[in-house]
Amino acid sequence: MSAPKNTALLLASFTVQAELGDYNVSEHPPNYLSDLCLLPKQNAEDERRIRELHKLHKGQAPADAEANFLEHAKRLDCYGVESHPAKDYSGKDIFIGVTSIGIVVFQNNIRVNTFSWSKIVKISFKKKQFFIQLKREPSESYDTVLGFNMRSGRAAKALWRCSVERHGFFRLRAPRRRALLAALGALAGLAAPTVPRTETMALEDARRSRSTNRSFVRRSGSLVRERSAGAASPGAGAMRGSRVTANTEPPPRPAWTDIAQTMDTHIPEGDFLERRLRIPLSYVDDSETGSDAESVPGAAGVRVRLAAGDDGLFGFNVRGGGGAPVLVSRVASRTRLHLQEGDQVMSINGTDVEELTHEQIVQMIRNTRGVLTLIVKPNAVYEPEEGPEEPAVCFVPLNSGQLEGDVLEQSMLLLGDGLASGAALKQYDTLLRRLPDEPTTASKLPCNLNKNRYRDIAPYDSTRVILKNGPTGDYINASYINMEIPNSDTVLTYIATQGPLASTVGDFWQMVWESESSLVVMLTVLSERGRAKCHQYWPKVGTSPLKATNSLTVHTNSEQNHGHYIRREMTMKETGGGCRNVTQLQYIAWPDHGVPDDSAAFIGFTQLCSNLRNHRALIPTVVDPGDDDEDERVLAPPMIVHCSAGVGRTGALILCEVALALAARGQPLYPLDLVRAMREQRPMCIQNASQYKFVCESIQTAYAQGLTKPASESGSN
């Protein structure tokens, strides 16, 4: 496996950290790396650079250093690739690699082309030539066949066999039975190799090993010691899951089961704000019900009968439909006895749901009176079939000089690969929508329930905005989000909030005043498809000022329509004599369902928001001169961002601005980490995969066109 010089030096530094521990001047003389063979043709300059990188890894345990080594190694183009030397049509030397994604072509250790398994319809060879036939596109009237010259006929056959085996492992659901004529042909070595086991089967076996049929019980240490001499020692104990009881004692009480494990933090929460998802997700209900289940003779499913609760609802959610598998996404506690998250729903009340849309499925469940009968496939597995995973954490040292530009480019290439293969969206789907250990107590108080636009969108208590002089109390459905830019003193500060209700307009403007903010970004229209998304919380131009609270009035001075957004200039006045100018930017080019058509316009809008944030006059914050805490930083007033719920489009804009700031400073960009950081401060930020994909593709396009530098004030307007 080859690697760029900078990456090779970084990998070598992780090796040194794992072997020697933290750098110590007294223990490690200048030539302490000379006896270690870390790189081919290692020289003094290489050792110096490795030593500087080694210093940055202080505090990493050997296991952490090895994990960091693997995180970077697996991002290399040649990692895990079985290479076969060949020549292209012009006679240039190339390497053909076979991977889980498909067939890749390398030239001078650089990947120049990728043919995914989904695009390949035929793989063949003839004498010394190896052929790939690609799927015909709708606009094409011909088949595309690519040929490569191998060193020998045996080399061509070896590449063909390797490609067929990899394709079968990663793409087939189960091995295909060999026909009789094909089996006879195998005697002459002409048949394709069989795949005894596929990746899907391996994943299903792993899931089956954690099935709900396995239970665990608590054991008493005294009972273990009373076992016979031929049994395991007390230190070893019994096999996990075995039952150890005494004749004079009742059977031990179960301590935990996999039913409890299904209540894991990875359970996705339902939402009904933006229903048109890549795999739609919506509430059916969340009540507790009674249930019954039995096997279906002659079928690979289980019949589950659910009785409605006192409120006439059933205790589970579903997602999918319209061609996508219909999966159980959330289950109430009593229903979990016979229905689990991840089960695939095959039919409802005797009706096959394969061709039904998501809305039809939900409506069918809601219209059921009495007992609901489901045919489900337990523990259905739908894992990624191809593509590398986007890393969960970036371990690159961010102050390593020349390395910074390289890691940005590598992270963008990695993001592009993940989007092309679908792995980036698969990884997005695994993110926690909200933190299970963060309470949202304030939002559930009786006096605050009516202040929430949606019942499942609530701020964490630890990051919620607390009003000092709120007209109806200290609660507002809003969260502080702080995104720090590494290797700089920059912290992008936000308040993410829902679109104001008619009853919370005063709270909203009180929050604007108390936060000292002068920029409000609105990412929705007032109503969509006849449903209110946000109350008009500002007065129209030329009308009398809006009396937001007893002490605050708001006047709209001007309004300019720029096509995809509207800019309004407002003035807030307080009875005590205070006054502040506020700019509101309303983005109106985001459709009801889906994402904007023009990514360049959205990038430009985001840069305008960033420009106004960075160049507006800030109200100075008074710092106690007697405070000795030199590390305390004074954060600039936040940008207030809202859509309807304050999580979907709001999160998209925050992700876009932070990504642009990172790219402008040459920092590596891993969107998954940014979404995770946002959701640690406000739940459900970036509400669905289509929004995540849109922002990632927009950043990719901006980076490719050189638009990631901060926009000038004149250019943004």
pLDDT band at 528 (very low <50, low <70, confident <90, very high): confident
For 562-577, the pLDDT digits (tens) are 989 999 999 999 988 8
Which of 131-135, 237-241, 352-356, 634-638 has the least mean pLDDT?
237-241
How much is the pLDDT for 259?
Answer: 31
Q: In the prediction, which pLDDT does 220 show?
A: 39
Instruction: Determine the Cα–Cα distance for residues 121 and 103; give it in Å rounded to an integer.
Output: 12
pTM, two decimals, is 0.48
What is the per-residue pLDDT across 551-561, written as a single tens digit (0 to 9) for each? 999 999 999 99
Q: Would you say residue 618 has pLDDT above 90?
A: no
Q: Find out whether 148 and 96 touch, Cβ atoms under 8 Å.
A: yes
Helix (H/G/I), strand (E/B), else coil: 547: strand
**Cα 451 from Cα 465, distance rounded (Å):** 14
Of the listed ranges 461-465, 589-593, 620-624, the least confidently predicted one is: 620-624
Note the pLDDT of residue 199: 67
Is the backbone of residue 114 left (phi > 0), alpha (psi -120 to 50) or beta? beta
What pLDDT is attached to residue 255?
Answer: 31
pLDDT band at 510 (very low <50, low <70, confident <90, very high): very high
Provide the pLDDT for residue 126. Answer: 85
pLDDT of residue 132: 86
pLDDT, mean over the chain: 75
Query: Treating both helix axes as pointing N-terminal to C-terminal, what angle do 403-421 and 648-664 enclose, rounded to 10 degrees?
Result: 140
Distance of CA 209 to the CA centre of its chain: 26
Over residues 188-221, the pLDDT tens digits come to 445 556 666 776 777 676 666 554 444 444 443 3
Q: What is the pLDDT of residues 448-503, one digit of tens each?
A: 999 999 888 999 999 999 999 999 899 999 999 999 888 777 889 999 999 999 99
What confidence tier does 399 reach under pLDDT thresholds 50, 70, 90? very low
Q: Which of 610, 636, 674 is nearest to 491 (CA)?
A: 636
pLDDT of amino acid 221: 39
Whole-angstrom Cα Rg for the chain: 30
Q: What domains appear along the chain, each with residue ranges and CATH number?
A: 5-73 (1.20.80.10), 83-178 (2.30.29.30), 281-377 (2.30.42.10), 428-527+539-617+634-716 (3.90.190.10)
Q: What amino acid positions are annotated as catalytic residues?
A: 643
* HSE of 291, CA atoms in CB hemisphere, 13 A: 25
- Lowest mean pLDDT across 205-214, 236-245, 616-625: 236-245
Q: How far apart are CA 57 and CA 23, in angstroms?
A: 8
Percent of the chain whose predicted confidence (pLDDT) is above 70 = 72
The tens digit of pLDDT for each residue in 12-67 reads 888 988 888 888 888 888 888 888 888 888 888 888 888 888 888 888 888 888 88
- Predicted confidence at residue 293, as pLDDT, reads 52
